[in-house]
Amino acid sequence: MIDVTKQIEAVTRTVGTAGDARIGTISQVYPTGVDDLWEAVTSAERIPRWFLPITGDLKEGGHYQLEGNAGGTITRCDKPNGYAATWEYGDTVSTITVRLTAIDGEHTRLELEHAGVPDPDFWAQFGPGATGLGWDGGLMGLALHLSAPDQPIDKEAVAAWMASDEGREFWRQSSEAWYSANVASGADPETARGMADRTFAAYTGG
């Protein structure tokens, strides 16, 4: 399905703070122009091909809902440079900011910043990987979509891959990458190790 190590190494991850907020940032350069990448990450027709089915009014001030996941309000829309939105999941409200930067006519960097004040107990248990692994999966899905943009997502194939040894290896390497980002941010290595191990177990069923 995908070269796991190549995909993990193509992504940059950082962990930071702003007051009580925790900020996870993830980015990847894709082999496409900024206008095409903008369409891929904002079009209700294309988002389900690499992420999740989405409904709503996808414009500034509009509300969106991802099937079985978060919803929220689009608070800023600056085509084709990026957008911002609330990320409302359960009782938790955080924000996402997406930035697109043209490298040249054929390459564009996507940077996604996810910021919020997490439940202290949840953060102590899982740390930044709780959302970070999910965004790693999203960036991988986007890479696959851009390699075959007209091909709809095969949900059964994706589910089977995620449950395979290769899929497990993807989550392991993602967990390790977020562990490293957490330690680089100043987290105690032993504490960060426990967070990463528990997150990996949560994503893989133990």
- Give the pLDDT score at 151: 84
Residue 68 — pLDDT band, cuts 50, 70, 90? very high
In the chain, how long is the greatest CA-to-CA distance?
45
Q: What is the pLDDT of residues 146-184, one digit of tens each?
A: 999 988 888 888 889 988 999 999 999 999 999 999 999
Instruction: Tell me the residue length of the chain.
Output: 206
- Give the pLDDT score at 1: 66
- Give the pLDDT score at 192: 98
Q: Where are the domains of the chain?
A: 4-204
- The residue type of 87 is W
- Give the pLDDT score at 113: 98
Per-residue pLDDT for 85 more than 90? Answer: yes
12-31: b or e for each residue (b if 16 or more CB lie within 10 Å)? ebbbeeeeeebbbbbbbebe
What fold does the segment set 4-204 form as a domain? Alpha-D-Glucose-1,6-Bisphosphate; Chain A, domain 4 (3.30.530)
Cβ atoms of 171 and 206 within 8 Å: the answer is: no
Beta bridge partners of 72: 64
The pTM of this model reads 0.95
Joined together, the tokens standing for residue 37 give 């990448």
CA distances from 153 to 6, 50, 76, 120 (A): 21, 6, 28, 36
